[in-house]
Chain A
Amino acid sequence: MEIRLLPWLRQSLAVLRKDLRIEFRTRYAYSALIMFAITTLVTVSFSVGGFVLDADITAALLWIILFFSAMAGLARTFVHEEETGTVTALKMAAQPEPVLIGKYLFNLTLLFSLAVLIVPLFLVMLNQTVLLPGALIAVILLGCLGLAGASTILAAIVAKAGAKSSLMTVLAFPVLLPLLFAAISATRVAFAGGLPQAIAADLLMLFFYDGIVVVASLLLFEYVWNE
């Protein structure tokens, strides 16, 4: 594997720009993400009613919503290439790594824009106070980085496996569990407050998880992409 970072970066950005352009015109993935998140959020909020839930529970709910929204929307980018047959043209033109990085950046953009919208809405609708807002932002950022990372390579696998709809969730859940555990535990601290040490370990874990997922994806993607 030859590594030439600058051309890679430029080609990745080309993939990102192409995907954003298509997404802007069709809104396939984003509408799936948003609709899923809003629907679950409204359902949860409605059934909770006026109760104020424990921070333990709201933290878990937040990540469950983010996780399943990601599953609903983030596979789209690879599946769409496979379904329309553009994957052959892309393979003939691009190296594998820029494709992966471009798609990763695309999924990251989707997830961040979802989080910016859904997290404040979540806090308002569930009457959740945030004692450590800085920590919450850090957790969401690191969590989304890992969530998008694992989803991107798994989406590539699912697209090759015939895009069976439930497959994405089945594959992603165990791989993402370490991330979810750490993110939920850190979010709880960010909601309810606590010692900095309590959240530092989880943030560190998220940080390492993100790094490992991206590196592992880069090493493995070639085997998924090429036959």
Chain B
Amino acid sequence: MDHIVDTRRGRNDRTLMPGGQAFITETRSAAREAGITLFDVTDPDQGIVHVISPELGIVLPGCTLIAPDSHTCTQGAFGALAWGIGSSEAEHALATGVLRLSRPKTLRVTFTGALSPGVTAKDMILTLIARHGAGGGKGHVVEFAGETVTALDMEARMTLCNMATEFSAMTGIVAPDEKTFAWLEGRRYAPAGELRAQAVKHWQPLHTDEGAQFDAEIVIDASSIEPMVSWGTSPEHSIGISGTVPSGAPERALLYIGLETGQRLAGTPIDAAFIGSCTNSRLSDLRRAAALLKGRRVAPGVKALCVPGSMHVKRAAEAEGLDAIFEQAGFEWRESGCSMCFYAGGESFAPGSRVISSTNRNFEGRQGPNIRTHIASPEVVAASAIAGCIADPRELRS
């Protein structure tokens, strides 16, 4: 229960999305009939599937995990083979317990060096997609490797793997390590006690052998990455925040987004700011945004929302007082769900709005008819909300 649920306070089965309530009630009765556990609208564990599955220890290293949602690749961060499928394949999996697939090709993306302050996993994946294209992954399983990836915490690894689908990869994966095992300890569905000891022993060797051959390799110097922001209508239309709209940009994308070749992105006025989605709605994302928002105010006229990825994230953030920071800054503080990452006829921004968003897709109409989306990290969203225009979070820090 994530895409369709309402995220306004006091929610129930009613949603602004046409047909949404029927979807919720039919899913509930079908789950009950089939004996499938459902994290329902009012469940304390409710949230975006790719946030709650790791939270509850459902995804584990070495497991095969599928869901009828393209961002299932998020969970490759745990060293699972996790990928998105369509409804027919979901039906196949439920009916047979397996899927039919051909062995995918492999691509290793190695990040070297340290990230500069204010640069995040979101900027790493946007850099990869900007340099190699939204089709660059071409159905491969992408292993994210290298010292930069190893240094990322689990939540950042999830952000990195989340957008493997925006690279047209089958999925992304990170080799599980001690950080992974520690993160899973004590989670409800993760093995405990003797079983955990046995499992960890099984998980430890789950990494690529030295000298293994991949079908393709990409190496990126992570120290050269700056905060990224999209200028067009595909995630491949992304540049460093100090950059300008490149020459040769497709006219159709420029027409939709209302920018011109050579124009600086920083300083472009925005109408709204959104923090949320399976890409960037976890506790660490909210903490980093709150650190910038603390004691500051959203610029007048900017509609700003924060939608935690799960009710667990929401409660943890509230326990730290993050909700107060967001609200005092002028952000709405919502119940968890996918919310305005996409538009399904329910809630949207004002017509024609330019939105800075911590989400994963800047397609035409993704957040509503004629809504112009710029995707970026939670830091860039927070800094831009304060400035009232696309802004570099590093300038706020100093």
A and B: partners? no
Instruction: State the B residues within 8 Å of A (CB).
Output: none
